[in-house]
Amino acid sequence: LFGLLKVELDGQMRLDLLELFGVVGSIDPHRLKLTSSAVTVADTVMQSLEVVESDQHLNPQSDNVHFITFTSLLAILQDPALGDLHMSCTQCITFIIREMVGPDAQLVLSRYLPVIFKIIDSLDPSLSNGGNLLEFYFQQLVAIVQSTGVFCKPYIVDLITLAGLKFAPNHTSSLAIITLLESIVNVLKADALTYMPVMVGMLRGLHEHILHHSGTSSQALVRLMSAITAMAPLLGSYADSTVEMIIKHIQRLNVNDSQSLKNNTLTALMSVFYSNGTLDCFPLVYRTLEVKRDIFEKDAYLDCVHFIRSLDPTKTDHTWHNVDRIVSKLASMHIHDYGGSGGGNQQSS
């Protein structure tokens, strides 16, 4: 069923699949391991229907399968005895939320997120499979934040607090948490400025882990650079130290690293300069890029060097080629839309 839901495009068929998810999750005697000494299938069905009918918070209409299915799945998710079903229920609820808009999504989030927060809070990444479970649940939160946008704003403080409490750079969940922070910034834009100290702290934690553990996957660095690019307009006093972080990773890049990774790193570097104006680290940037120029694609390297030189107040010749094109590229990433973040873009244009 889950496989069908991923690929099915017909609206009515998706509704039928969601309804079937709720029914199967409620009454399947094999999955729930019902025995003669446990509740009967009929009892389980009746309990599920009673929950739906008595839920005055959601006030579902009789033909609204989203609400009915969600309430049934939420009841399973809140039952510790059905822990082996929780991941499947969570995935299905994420699909339901992604199909909801407006007040409907707000109502479901108000019931669902506190339950997920409680589950995540109970997980210990140092225990067996704890890190994998944390990664899974944070990935679901990423999908929810990305799909609901402004409707998740009332829960941002709880999301960031939980991310900070569970963040451990050496665990698999750390990349999902960094992606969650990036998604939150994309939703809040300038309003995320309040949370920069906490977010930058987690970025630095991942940065240090990558530096001191050579076996760390390149995906970790990709996620770090992507998050820096998203947060660039809000870095403020953290901009210089963030450039130093990027430079340390550029120094570690080699010819065998993927071009995508190298280009993402250069984009993060340009984004910080673009959004924060004149910084104090131009000489360090020039030296590092010059030493590493042979590992980059020529055009990407020249774009980065010329763009950064165009912002350098010590350089009087600003006739570098393609600077306007680079500015347009960075602007297309919505870096300049956050407001109140410095203003390197005025100088470069």
Q: How confident is the model at residue 186, as a pLDDT?
A: 94
| pTM of the predicted model over 0.85 | no
What count of other Cβ atoms lies within 10 Å of the Cβ of residue 27? 18
pLDDT digits (tens, 9 = 90+) for 232-241: 999 999 999 9
Would you say 99 and 91 are in contact if contact means Cβ atoms under 8 Å apart?
no
Would you say 164 and 197 are in contact if contact means Cβ atoms under 8 Å apart?
no
Q: How confident is the model at residue 279, as a pLDDT?
A: 74
Would you say 30 and 48 are in contact if contact means Cβ atoms under 8 Å apart?
no
Indicate if the pLDDT at residue 179 is higher than 70.
yes
**Higher pLDDT among residues 31 and 120, named by residue:** 120
Q: What's the 3-state SS for the chain?
A: CHHHHHHCCCHHHHHHHHHHHHHHHHHCHHHHCCCCCCCCHHHHHHHHHHHHHHCCCCCCCCCCHHHHHHHHHHHHHCCHHHHHHHHHHHHHHHHHHHCCCCHHHHHHHHHHHHHHHHHHHHCCCCCCCHHHHHHHHHHHHHHHHHHHHHHHHHHHHHHHHHHHHHCCCCCCHHHHHHHHHHHHHHHHHHHHHHHHHHHHHHHHHHHHHHHHCCCCCHHHHHHHHHHHHHHHHHCHHHHHHHHHHHHHHHHHCCCCCCHHHHHHHHHHHHHHHHHHCCCCCHHHHHHHHHHHHHHCCHHHHHHHHHHHHHHCCCCCCCCCCCHHHHHHHHHHCCHHHCCCCCCHHHHHC
Indicate if the pLDDT at residue 41 is higher than 80.
no
pLDDT digits (tens, 9 = 90+) for 139-153: 999 999 999 999 999
Work out the pLDDT band at 323, boundaries 50, 70, 90.
low
Work out the pLDDT band at 23, boundaries 50, 70, 90.
low
Indicate if the pLDDT at residue 30 is higher than 90.
no
Work out the pLDDT band at 216, boundaries 50, 70, 90.
confident
Residue 65 tokens read as: 């399968």
Would you say 117 and 131 are in contact if contact means Cβ atoms under 8 Å apart?
no
Q: How confident is the model at residue 2, as a pLDDT?
A: 67
Q: Which of 147-151, 200-204, 319-323, 337-341 has the lowest mean pLDDT?
A: 337-341
Give burial (CB, 10 Å; 0-12/13-18/19+) of 108.
buried
What count of other Cβ atoms lies within 10 Å of the Cβ of residue 241? 13
